[in-house]
Chains A and B, each alone.
Chain A
């Protein structure tokens, strides 16, 4: 019963597809809208972006001013997420911290994506020793597991948020380089690239005008998927004291500050953690949705 039902649906979908020819963008939009979770996530992300821009101006309380009469008080109508060890309003600090996490996540992944894309395009297009050297460097970078490379880089550069961005960017480079390289190899072997090459186009033109756009969809998907993990990594580094330093309202640093009061005031760690979780979750859901809508290799 069920089989025939889905078969029929598939057939109808096929008919529909043949009847209407859509531009790639509207085709993408049509598929993307079907991903309800991703669509909702996209709207939440827009909201987070707005918060990042206006956050510091709309906080109900001053985020740096201590209030020693209200130390570690639990969530209430006055302080929605309670107050921390200095009596500062946690809800206000989370709002003010949005821009830090978002900025760190976006810039580090962007820098990593740019570096990785250039290397991946070069490795994939030129092949030979260029490919070997670039891929060997990537192997070495990938030999350091997880956030360890980032910790190593911070051990060299010293703690601080700026160095966290550099560290996370460097550890994103090899991942992007590999993905871009493999899709470059794929695009390179297509007929239209062959044709461009045979009419004598310069390599730089072939790469940027013809190959790069072909790799763009996987870059976009990966970019989105990577933002979540970059935010997580940055928050982890701040938590262990290598990233943002107090009194910064960075979420990881706030959590780290609340550790000492875990038994008497769990709300100090609860809410910043929730903020990280939700932000990372919506980026991951959006990434999943984009992958399903953009990547033709993954069929429904």
Chain B
């Protein structure tokens, strides 16, 4: 078990390193002169030189990478070109709102998704299944930003139950997390259904039925436990989807999180912030994937001995 854990953790390191190189090279991949773009169209030569120095572009590439990595290890992510404050401060204040938004979206998405999935699998090819699966494919097809706007229109503008944006109380979480979680709920529902249907075909289920175990007991005790193993993995991977989705949703709900900051930074060409955000999101996603992988190892012993 320990060997499996260590192996998986070590495997992540090369990916992490390549990701940092990738993100470091980011500014260098901009076609044309990044410094000139940042400085603006009517910048003088001195202005451009200054920006170049600020972005560290005036030094040889390997030196730049070493100082970039050195900074990273010390938690130094550079200085925002827009606010002139350290990027780590800018991002620090934005991290928790996005984190909690994704967590709450995930919580309710998994609950709803599991219920729809189990009902669909057990009422296969009857109307609850059709309704559930049509709802799921619709959930996958909804443009999240549009769903957000429609929810705002109904529940904030017309009914006045929830605020239309910002982050003041628990009420502020309701609409954004529903918007963000819908796609994930759909994926979880579809996946749970197919996984549970696969498990229900097994011999031990037939044995259970043959010896007269009631159907509810079979589904909830014998089948669901095994069906959930792949669902856990799948659900973990959906965190990435949520992180990406938060970028759009935060814009809709004026949510003071990382996603909104990213969009603002892209518009302003605030490259140090963009770089740091890409790194944080990638890091978060890699760690989640790792945790899911380890969890899968615990739930499914077969994997460990591969």
A interface with B by C-beta (< 8 Å):
136, 139-140, 143-148, 151-152, 154-157, 228, 232, 235-236, 239-242, 252, 255, 259, 262-263, 266, 269-270, 272-273, 276-277, 280-281, 284-285, 288, 298
Q: Which of the residues A151, A232, A266 comes within 8 Å of B153, measured between beta carbons?
A: A266
Is the Cβ of A239 less than 8 Å from the Cβ of B266? no
Residue of A nearest to B153 (CB): A266
Q: Say yes or no for B175: interface residue by CB 8 A criterion.
A: no
Which of B242, B247, B274, B285 contacts A143, CB < 8 Å? Answer: B285
Least distance between B77 CB and chain A CB atoms (Å) = 16
B155-196 interface code vs A (CB 8 A; 1 in, 0 out): 001000000000000000000000000000000000000100
Tell me the minimal C-beta distance from B275 to chain A in angstroms: 9
**B278 x A285 contact (CB < 8 A):** no
Which size class do B's interface residues fall under? 35 or more
B205 touches A (CB below 8 Å) = no
A-B contact count (CB 8 A): 130
Query: What's the Cα separation between A135 and B303 when bound, in Å?
Result: 20
Contact A240 B143 (CB under 8 A): no
Q: Which residue of A lies closest to B263 (CB)?
A: A240
B29 in the interface, Cβ–Cβ < 8 Å? yes
Task: Name the one of A236, A259, A272, A298 contacting B144, with C-beta atoms under 8 angstroms.
Answer: A236
Complex: A293 Cα to B225 Cα, angstroms: 29
Q: Is B267 an interface residue (CB 8 A)?
A: yes
Contact B153 A144 (CB under 8 A): no
Name the one of B14, B146, B266 contacting A276, with C-beta atoms under 8 angstroms: B146
Q: Is B26 an interface residue (CB 8 A)?
A: yes
Tell me whether B31 is interfacial, beta carbon within 8 Å: yes
In the assembled complex, which residues on chain A have CB atoms less than 8 Å from the CB atom of B142?
Answer: 277, 280
> Are B137's CB and A273's CB within 8 A?
no
Q: Contacts A146-B241, A156-B30, A281-B141; is A269 near B149 (CB within 8 Å)?
A: yes
B281-A145 in contact (CB<8A): yes
Among the stretches B15-23, B66-74, B294-302, the one at the interface with A is: B15-23
Contact between A145 and B26 (Cβ–Cβ < 8 Å)? no
